[in-house]
Amino acid sequence: MPQSTLSLSRVQAMFPEPLPRARWEELLFASKAELVGIDGDELQISATPDRLDLLSEGGLGLYLEGITGSRTGLPHIRRATGPGPTIEVAATVHPLRPEIAGVLVHPPKRSGIDEGTLAEAIRFQEVIHASVGRDRRKASLGLYALERIRFPLRYALEPMESVRFTPLDRNRAISASEFFEEHPMATRYGAFGRDGNACLVLRDANDAVASLPPILNGRESGEVRPGDRGLLLESTGTSARAVRESLQLLLLVFAARGWSVAPVRIEPSSATSETETPVFSPRKIELRTSDLLGIAGERIAGPEVRRLARSCRMDVHASAGGWAITAAPWRIDLLGSVDVAEDLVIARGLSTSGTLLPVSSTLGRRRPESVFRRRFSPILLGAGLMSLYTPVVVSDGAVERAERSPDTIRLANPPSQEFAALRSSLAISLLESLRHNVRHSYPQRISETGPVVVRSTKGESGTETRYHIGFALAGEGLGFADAAALIDYLLRTMDVTGVREPAEIPATIPGRAARVRLAGEGIAEVGELHPRVLEAAGIPVPVAWGELDLSALWPLVRRPGTV
Q: Can you list the domains of the chain with their CATH numbers?
A: 3-68 (3.30.56.10), 78-267 (3.50.40.10), 283-348 (3.30.56.10), 368-557 (3.30.930.10)
Mean pLDDT value of segment 372-395: 92
The pLDDT score that the predictor gives to residue 111 is 82
pLDDT band at 274 (very low <50, low <70, confident <90, very high): very low
pLDDT band at 16 (very low <50, low <70, confident <90, very high): confident
Using the predicted structure, report yes or no on whether residue 252 has a pLDDT greater than 90.
yes
pLDDT band at 15 (very low <50, low <70, confident <90, very high): confident
Using the predicted structure, report yes or no on whether residue 148 has a pLDDT greater than 50.
yes
pTM attached to this predicted model: 0.65
Mean pLDDT value of segment 65-81: 90
Using the predicted structure, report yes or no on whether residue 294 has a pLDDT greater than 60.
yes
pLDDT band at 413 (very low <50, low <70, confident <90, very high): confident
Q: Which of 7-11, 13-17, 235-239, 452-456 has the lowest mean pLDDT?
A: 13-17
pLDDT-above-90 percentage for the chain? 77
Cα gap 200→193, rounded to integer Å = 5
Using the predicted structure, report yes or no on whether residue 357 has a pLDDT greater than 90.
no
Q: How many CA atoms lie within 13 A of 77 on its CB side?
A: 28
The pLDDT score that the predictor gives to residue 352 is 56
Beta bridge partners of 453: 465
Using the predicted structure, report yes or no on whether residue 271 has a pLDDT greater than 60.
no
The pLDDT score that the predictor gives to residue 161 is 94
Give the dihedral sign, CA 10/11/15/20.
Answer: negative
pLDDT band at 511 (very low <50, low <70, confident <90, very high): very high
Mean pLDDT value of segment 249-265: 95
Using the predicted structure, report yes or no on whether residue 290 has a pLDDT greater than 80.
yes
Cα 220 to the chain's mean position, in Å? 35
Cα gap 9→41, rounded to integer Å = 6
The pLDDT score that the predictor gives to residue 362 is 56
Mean pLDDT value of segment 123-151: 95
The pLDDT score that the predictor gives to residue 270 is 59
The pLDDT score that the predictor gives to residue 275 is 44
CA dihedral 60, 62, 67, 72 (to 10 degrees): -170
Contact in structure between 264 and 102 (CB atoms under 8 Å): yes
Mean pLDDT value of segment 62-66: 93
Q: Which of 13-17, 139-143, 302-306, 484-488 has the lowest mean pLDDT?
A: 13-17
pLDDT-above-70 percentage for the chain? 95
Contact in structure between 509 and 528 (CB atoms under 8 Å): yes
Mean pLDDT value of segment 24-35: 86
pLDDT band at 562 (very low <50, low <70, confident <90, very high): low
Buried b (16+ CB within 10 A) or exposed e, 43-70: bebbbeebbbbbbbbbbbbbbbbbbeee
Cα gap 177→252, rounded to integer Å = 36
Cis peptide upstream of residue 443 (ω within 30 degrees of 0) = yes
pLDDT band at 358 (very low <50, low <70, confident <90, very high): low
Using the predicted structure, report yes or no on whether residue 391 has a pLDDT greater than 60.
yes
pLDDT in tens, 154-200: 999 999 999 999 999 889 999 999 999 999 999 999 999 999 999 99
Contact in structure between 306 and 314 (CB atoms under 8 Å): no
Q: What is the mean pLDDT of the chain?
A: 91
β pairing state of 164-165 and 283-288 = unpaired
